[in-house]
Structure 1
Amino acid sequence: MSHPSSGLIAAILSASLLAGCATAPGTPPRSTVAIPGQLADSEAVRSDAPPSNWWRLYNEPALDVLVEEALTNNRDLRAASANLLQARSILSEARGELWPATNLSGGAGEGSTLEDQIAAASEGTDKIRTGPRFDIGTSVSWELDLFGRLRSTVKAAEADAQASAALEDGVRVAVAAGVTGTWLDACGYAHRADVARQSLALAQRGLDLAERLLAAGSGLPVDVLRAEVLVGQASATIPMLDAKRHDALTELAVLTGRPPAEVPSAAAACRRLPAITTPLPIGNGLTLLRRRPDVRAAERKLAANTARIGVAVADLYPRISLDGGAALSSPTVGGIASRNNLVWRVGPLLSWSFPNVSAVHARIRYAQAGEAAGLADFDATILRALKEVNQTAEDYGAALRRQGDLRAAADHSARADRLMQIQRSAGAATALEALDAERADIDAQAALAAADSDVTTTQVALFKALGGGWENAPAVVLPSPQRTAPVASVTGSSK
């Protein structure tokens, strides 16, 4: 004679087979983008892999210290680190669902229980005992995960945590590039301001000369007016250069976790741009994708979306758990220990939405669409990475060529100025002609100084596009929250 539940079990298994027309993919889809071996065609770059701490190529020890400080204290980086802790907590929760869940309960109150009602019915009376009641119980439930719902949930949480780790690395890249870039900006603006002050001093000398010539009857009033225009123009360039240098220094302070007024002294003292004289190493396509945190984050998000298809597909099948529980209920505290008051149960528990699975199929389609979107975003991120490196490498090459032309022009202008001063000493040139030669030399130096800044700006942009700077970065240590009442709250509330 067959067990009465065997027919039900067979029906469930048969229905499961019919419901399981959808299957979960085992691995995420591959990118549809062909990865090139060569990232850029420029003499300004070379194909060997760049160092992870690329800012050391500038050979500025004080800059190296500030980058390390920022990678530890930057507040945006701390926020990203906290987000990673949240993602890892979600992963721990998902892994915990793989194990049995236990519950302990207890209570005390006034009233009656189901047992009291059964006793009254068996005695043929409608008088149900009421009074104090003390209860204590425990239960255990363990989902067997026969169809992979929990395992797929864990895979999705793992991929989400890995994506959060990649996003944290992306902040590290931005912080390292930000510190290096603002340091170089501060140096560049300081140098350009020094050249502008030299130009102002030269313009003032020209004005003084024009006024002396006019007083001696050898000059014209229009020459004085023109000299005054040059003084005003030279003076007008200085305030904005000083302001931009100040902006760079305060930005550098905040990037390193300091208040804006606490400007790093080494950066404030820098007045010359450091130079990298060799072609920049950029690696190849595969090394780029391994270095770019945004590519890794997009790939991990795609993996999470694929895993969520498995979560949705598992809902086509029944959820089977092993459940057990025991409870004691007594009208007195002392009676709880009596075996006569023990109620227990153990056995399987099934939960299933079959045959109405239309909602489940809708969730599967939703998850599949999420995977398609994740793949498209992964492809787009790869293409964006390749584009950024290609474009910034070309911009860097153009900036180098422009710098080379302006350096040659500045050299020629300096030679012309020296020859003019020699002619002036020999009486073969007037004071105005010598002054014009000096002015042309200062203008050439100003143009070269601006070109030098453009070169370092494109260098940092290229290194940032390459995605390095996170590999050997120090760990971010989140400070313990301070909860003592401040003297003056930011919001004006002491609560």
Structure 2
Amino acid sequence: MNIRMWGISLFMFLSTVSAVGQTANCYLKAPLPDEWEESGQVFQQTLPVDDYWWKSFRDTKLDSLITLAVDRNFSVAMAINRISAARANLWMERSNFFPSVGLNAGWTREETSGNISAAPQSTEHYYGASLSMSWEVDVFGSIRKRVKAQKENFAASKEEYTGVMISMAAEVASAYINLREFQQQLEVVKKNVASQEEVLKITEVRYNTGLVAKLDVAQAKSVLYSTRASIPQLEAGINQYITTLAVLLGMYPQEIRPVLETVGILPDYMEPIGVGMPVDLLLRRPDVRSAERNVNAQAALLGASKADWLPKVFLKGSFGYAARDLKDLVKSKSMTYEIAPALSWTIFSGGQLVNATRLAKVQLDETINQFNQTVLTAVQETDNAMNAYRNSIKQIVALREVRNQGVETLKLSLELYKQGLSPFQNVLDAQRSLLSYENQLVQAEGSSLLQLITLYKALGGGWRE
């Protein structure tokens, strides 16, 4: 299959569009991107993981949180409700295939005036019971096309549900990664605080023995207090993501806080990612499939609006009994019936049918444009996510080396300071640099995981009912 051609031919709705007078000129003609290849070991040209991509992080707590969100998340519940509503609309439209049958029964008494005609005043009464039936014979397919539109809407609602599930899993995973990132940054700060307290003790000893000026002690304290001052902001960030996870799980924060406050590590994940082919992307993403269904539905409605120009055929009838006395009601002589085939054809409606068809055409064009925009957005999101994830891996590799050198620099500068061979400023610079390097590394690791989550979301993978 030529991956440089748009995947229009892959979608069944083209036949529907052409059937109502549309052409492929409405669709994007530009080629899809080349295969998303990376010369290194970051990406592979295989289909992305179909199910439960988050399990590759090997974090059982994250697995449990997503499982809980599936059962309790209100966005998922609303998506399920939309499926139920679409199913009800489908069955309502299908009911037009069948005749409507009614039962009528009652007793009638009437008295006529003797002063409006030559006939004398009279009183009549009788009992009656009958079944009536009305049936529109779908000769020109108006009902069939509207049923098809509702079928496509129902299918689109299921695709939207899948999209909600993918987004929900990505949101839970992202909030969880952000929480762990803040916790790890807090651990880095606490570790550096402990290190800086040791350095402060060294400067105090050297000051008390007259080896250095009090300036060294003051500088050591300023670095220590500055590091401690970052702790409240990190604790606020931790609380923020705990509450975010609580909302995603449909819970109050106090219900889940004890579980999440325990410090956890960031998943260590730098394995190759299967990105598949560009055409596979179009076939996988729920928003693209939903947009396809919407085009199908609107094309069917356009066909139905054209069918409304043609005559409608109805078959009506009734069968029952009527008699003066109740005891004679079901006798054969009391039987009544009526058969009334009818044809209804609107010759003039003040432009209503014309404008209804115009509206349907405009709405079809709009859904086609929405489909094209969805495809472009899918390609954009995937390209951006792949580029961001690729560069985040490179950044982590570089920052790990920088962190290692920062540890070595602090160790050497402190040893030289103890021996009186180096000024205390070198130790201060090494402390500040090491704290910065370690924070940057934690942030880069968290950002890389977030980019990976975004990539899985962009690839349309990660959920299957």
Question: What letter matches 2:232 in structure 1?
Answer: P
Change (3 A) 1:135 1:203: farther
Change (3 A) 1:33 1:264: farther
Deviates more, 1:462-471 or 1:351-360: 351-360
Change (3 A) 1:33 1:232: farther
Mapped contact 1:291–1:467 kept (Cα < 8 A) = yes
In 2: Cα distance, 1:203 partner to 1:107 partner: 97
Which position in structure 1 is the counterpart of 2:374? Answer: 381
| 1:177 paired to 2:170 | yes
User: CA RMSD of the aligned region, Å?
Assistant: 3.1
Q: 1:46: how far off?
A: 2.4
| 1:125 paired to 2:119 | yes
Deviates more, 1:103-112 or 1:151-160: 103-112
Q: 1:410: how far off?
A: 0.7
Q: 1:175: how far off?
A: 0.9
Which position in structure 2 is the counterpart of 1:261? Answer: 254
Q: 1:418: how far off?
A: 3.7
Mapped contact 1:199–1:442 kept (Cα < 8 A) = yes
Change (3 A) 1:86 1:223: same
| 1:279 paired to 2:272 | yes
In 2: Cα distance, 1:126 partner to 1:158 partner: 63
Report matched runs for 1:75-474 at 5 Å. 75-108=74-107, 110-111=109-110, 125=119, 127-130=121-124, 134-207=127-200, 220=213, 223=216, 225-263=218-256, 267-330=260-323, 332-356=325-349, 358-420=351-413, 423=416, 428=421, 433-434=426-427, 436-471=429-464, 473=465
Note the alpha carbon deviations across 1:345-379, whole angstroms, 9 max, x for none.
Answer: 11312222114473212111111111111100000
Mapped contact 2:193–2:227 kept (Cα < 8 A) = yes
Deviates more, 1:400-409 or 1:316-325: 400-409
Determine helix, strand or coil for the equivalent of 2:256.
coil
Determine helix, strand or coil for the equivalent of 1:468.
coil
Which position in structure 1 is the counterpart of 2:44? Answer: 46
Aligned length: 444
In 2: Cα distance, 1:353 partner to 1:330 partner: 40
Which position in structure 2 is the counterpart of 1:13? Answer: none
Note the alpha carbon deviations across 1:183-203, whole angstroms, 9 max, x for none.
Answer: 211211111111112233344
Q: 1:87: how far off?
A: 0.2
Mapped contact 1:202–1:439 kept (Cα < 8 A) = no
In 2: Cα distance, 1:268 partner to 1:162 partner: 41
In 1: Cα distance, 2:397 partner to 2:93 partner: 59
In 2: Cα distance, 1:428 partner to 1:378 partner: 70
Mapped contact 1:187–1:267 kept (Cα < 8 A) = no
Change (3 A) 1:425 1:215: closer
TM-score (norm: length of structure 2): 0.85
In 1: Cα distance, 2:108 partner to 2:404 partner: 97
Structure 1 spans left out of the alignment, 5+ residues? 1-22, 474-495
In 2: Cα distance, 1:84 partner to 1:225 partner: 67
Note the alpha carbon deviations across 1:106-148, whole angstroms, 9 max, x for none.
Answer: 3446546xxx89xx99x951635355x5442211222211100
TM-score (norm: length of structure 1): 0.80
Change (3 A) 1:269 1:167: same
In 1: Cα distance, 2:325 partner to 2:31 partner: 76
Question: What letter matches 2:20 in structure 1?
Answer: P
Structure 2 spans left out of the alignment, 5+ residues? 1-17
Mapped contact 1:35–1:285 kept (Cα < 8 A) = no
Mapped contact 1:55–1:180 kept (Cα < 8 A) = yes
Which position in structure 2 is the counterpart of 1:36? Answer: 32
Change (3 A) 1:224 1:416: closer
In 2: Cα distance, 1:253 partner to 1:28 partner: 49
Determine helix, strand or coil for the equivalent of 1:104.
strand
Question: What letter matches 2:121 in structure 1?
Answer: K
Mapped contact 1:28–1:302 kept (Cα < 8 A) = no
